[in-house]
Structure 1
């Protein structure tokens, strides 16, 4: 079972840069995108065989997300009731028999950290939500989470300590989640892999020199981590300032529940 997540930094722009070629090549069961920057009716996506679920921001040209899937869900939920960000199109949850899929576009704390307090409130509300879901069935949580968790997850760690996306507070929220029953799938498989990034600044030659950050994640409930086959970063795929990430799970292990808790 294949899952893809990609912050497309504007789906209309990404369509002009090969989005559909990559989408069709991947043939994923679930394809999650963030930062669509448009309303659903403003773009036509010929995705034969896929159900489309969109969560648009009220503000045009801002935020937004979608999930494209071959599998009809049992239920769909938009947001978790968070007051500050519920109008920004930042969460979609699809429920299935074996798991919840939660696609998230986490608010940025902004360069001057003006939104850090709101970001931390968001993290607390999302944590409670994920724990509630996890108590019912396993969770597959993905998206642009706007945090590099450890120093290994960005190129210039020391000079970025305290900056947006690498504050102690943001990193501690991720640490809390991973200590409360969840697994970062990439680090589970590749704990010491360096120079593995998912976002690069548009500044000159930054991506060519691989001066990046790993801020896009697939995180799963610990009880299904033995079903992880691979967790990849497709850094060679262009079209956005982020690259896609891909999670492959063993569907038979999920079905038969031959999983460790």
Structure 2
């Protein structure tokens, strides 16, 4: 029976890696300015006191997570993601473009974990936390030096519920995160050189998302090779104020025209990560 479960869990890991690979491929069919960049869910599956969980991987940038169970029920966690890379994209009409990124996200918080009598999901976790994210990207069509710059910053608060199982050679988990994000800064503008300069901004952009995810891992020489895939689903999308500033130049004369409108911006994104994870147990398991 245990052998069959391990085979099923290994198959789940393989399928998750395929899906994550599709999410993380350099070419994507979804064209967007990528101003909302939720990171992977924390699913350490703690099961004892004095347990340190370490994770390093790739997903929305280079991702590093730490969580430590300082009692047999409570854990602290921190996470950081840095994305300084060029992503190659394909728009829905087939045009190829690049997104040069200089982003980061930092978050931390507190978690609670316990054991249950459920044989399929014996470990249950709940986390609350907060974080900040900076988005600074420049996108342009392949072969064109002019494009559009997006600069944004937002903070977020979240609550998360996990359930999963760890065995000798593998583990799997399910996670659901409710995430509220509030933008403190959001500007974008074109870099084309002409007689009209355009700059746009959003004021008080915010949103609530539900982020379901699945993870699966396989232990190899004590290291857990883990894949996670999920999606951020917008739950609320209130109208926000958009300001477009058009600046025209005629000789030494500069004229600015403001246009204010209302828009609904939905926060959504794919979530995916491939990582190497390791647990250090400073106490013997009782």
TM over 0.5: no
Structure richer in helix, relative to its length = 1
Structure richer in strand, relative to its length = 2
TM, length-normalised to structure 2: 0.27
